[in-house]
Homo-oligomer: A and B are copies of this chain.
């Protein structure tokens, strides 16, 4: 399957992809702007570590998704970009921590040495806390009705904590032995990736003021998309080389994943099923869906179709 054929299949135009990629640049400019706007009274090593982790090559899938779902008018663009920065800070914090020696012990991330390799463990951990905390501070101060801001804080907190990302990482590190079937693995993938995907998309929908029916569709969309990304990640971990994906590979060898339990073919099928379910929900949600579909093909469909399998 060639990229051009995919384009025809889903009916989006080059402008749709361009719009999604411009959004990514807007998010990255805003992230840079935020770090540069800091006072000089912050310990230099700390701000350098935050920048090292944050301003590194990345697809920015989560914040871009948030933005494309929020579809802000001109007056609300800055606030939505701030929200985008907040979720990217949370995501980056989770990567810094996941990579620590006591967790995945990774050396490379986003085409750079991991933060603890470059700055030492203590500064890496502190930079993660700083990014995480900053995210909540940003949301509390965006231009939006306070009731919207408190909802956003609440949704984000739930997706990170002991019933979200943190729970997923704990099970991934210390509970893999108890995972025996696809249901267990999908629950882990849900906690590790799905729940935070959903919260990013939901934040965009909440900011936009969607009805609860639309919100439900956005959640369904993001849930399947997150699971598709996690399954693709498991596939790439087993088959790809580190130079292409910018981080360590084979970190999951020996762990129960859809790939290790049922093989690559089944994992690829599962991934495609999640992508299809995500598209269905997205198209019904009322969001301008073509830029998002363009991104899905670029970052997901084309990756798992790689090498013709």
Contacts and interface: CB of A to CB of B under 8 A. Distances in A.
Interface of A: 38-39, 41-43, 45-47, 50, 97, 100, 102-103, 120-123, 125-127, 129-130, 132-134, 136-137, 139-141, 145-147, 149-151, 153-154, 156-158, 160-163, 166-167, 169-171, 173-175
A174 B160 CA distance: 29
Nearest to A139: B153
A161 B173 contact: no
A160 B43 contact: no
A106 to B, nearest CB: 13
B45 A174 contact: yes
Contact of A133 (B126, B140, B160): B160
B136 A174 contact: no
Of A151, A162, A163, A171, which is in contact with the most chain B CB atoms at under 10 Å from its CB?
Answer: A162
A39 B161 CA distance: 13
Contacts of A160: 129, 133
Nearest to A138: B157
Contacts of A103: 122, 125
Contact of A157 (B46, B137, B147, B171): B137
A150 B120 CA distance: 34
B166 A130 contact: yes
B163 A42 contact: yes
A47 B162 contact: yes
A146 B130 CA distance: 24
Contacts of A163: 39, 41-42
A275 B45 CA distance: 34
Of A41, A45, A102, A127, which is in contact with the most chain B CB atoms at under 10 Å from its CB?
Answer: A102
A254 B147 CA distance: 49
A43 B122 contact: no
Nearest to A102: B121
Contact of A97 (B123, B125, B145, B169): B125
A161 B133 contact: yes
B140 A150 contact: yes
Nearest to A137: B157
Contacts of A97: 125-126, 129
A102 B175 CA distance: 24
B141 A45 contact: no
Given A38-B162, A130-B166, A137-B153, 5 more contacts: A123-B174, A126-B169, A133-B160, A136-B157, A146-B146
